[in-house]
Amino acid sequence: MVAMERRDPEQDERLRSEIWEALYDFFMAEHERNLEAVAELGVSPGDLKALMRLAPGRGEPMRALADMWRCDASTVTWIVDRLQKQGYVERRPHPTDRRVKVVALSAEGEELRERMLRRLYRPPAVLSELSPGELAALHRVAARLAPPADQ
């Protein structure tokens, strides 16, 4: 409809807004459905967030979790307590500093995390309806949006 070489900044801005609104609405709706689905597995939004942010096979000191989650140390105690009672994480001693407790996913925790990820990352049906060209374009965009893999 519009000449491709046109670069009106104001119009570009409107286009970006229109795109972002549509995508945002779509993602929020998907996310809400996902939260309901994981809730049915007895996983609270807080549990989910914590589970997602614990790298499998690698433990983190409580202190590091408080920094990562930007909350109080005692909040971490509370959250980890709950996850531990459910058997999803373990507190392990730090090899050199006996003050530190290293929190790591248990086998059950890793399994649950996997299941959650499969649910969250399940591509919505509409994605299957896109043409190969659209899919390729979206792929390039997604690659651009993805945060630069930290080192």
Partner DNA sequence: TCATAATGTTGGATATATCAAAGTATCTGT
Partner DNA sequence: ACAGATACTTTGATATATCCAACATTATGA
Taking the complex as a whole, how short is the minimal distance between the CB of residue 115 and DNA, in angstroms?
A: 18
CA–CA separation, 4 and 70 (whole Å): 45
Q: Which does 56 bind (CB under 5 to 8 A by kind): its own copies, DNA, none?
A: none
- Which residues, including other chains, have CB under 8 Å from residue 82's CB and lie 6 or more apart? 47
From the list 4-12, 72-80, 109-117, 130-138, the region that binds DNA by CB under 7 A is 72-80
From the list 78-86, 88-96, 107-115, 126-134, the region that binds its own copies by CB under 8 A is 126-134
Size of the site for DNA (CB under 7 A): 32
- Comparing CA positions, the residue from 109, 101, 106 lying closest to residue 77 is 101
Q: Detail the DSSP E strand segments found in the chain.
A: 60-61, 89-93, 101-105
Q: Is 63 in the site for DNA (CB under 7 A)?
A: yes
Q: Collapse the DSSP code of 136 into the 3-class scheme (helix H, G, I; strand E, B; otherwise coil) and give the result.
A: helix
Taking the complex as a whole, how short is the minimal distance between the CB of residue 37 and its own copies, in angstroms?
A: 14
Name the CA dihedral angle for 146, 72, 101, 58, rounded to a multiple of 10 degrees.
-10
Taking the complex as a whole, how short is the minimal distance between the CB of residue 30 and DNA, in angstroms?
A: 18
Q: Is 32 in the site for DNA (CB under 7 A)?
A: no
Residues engaged in binding its own copies (CB under 8 A): 4, 7, 12-13, 15-31, 120-124, 126-130, 132-135, 137-147
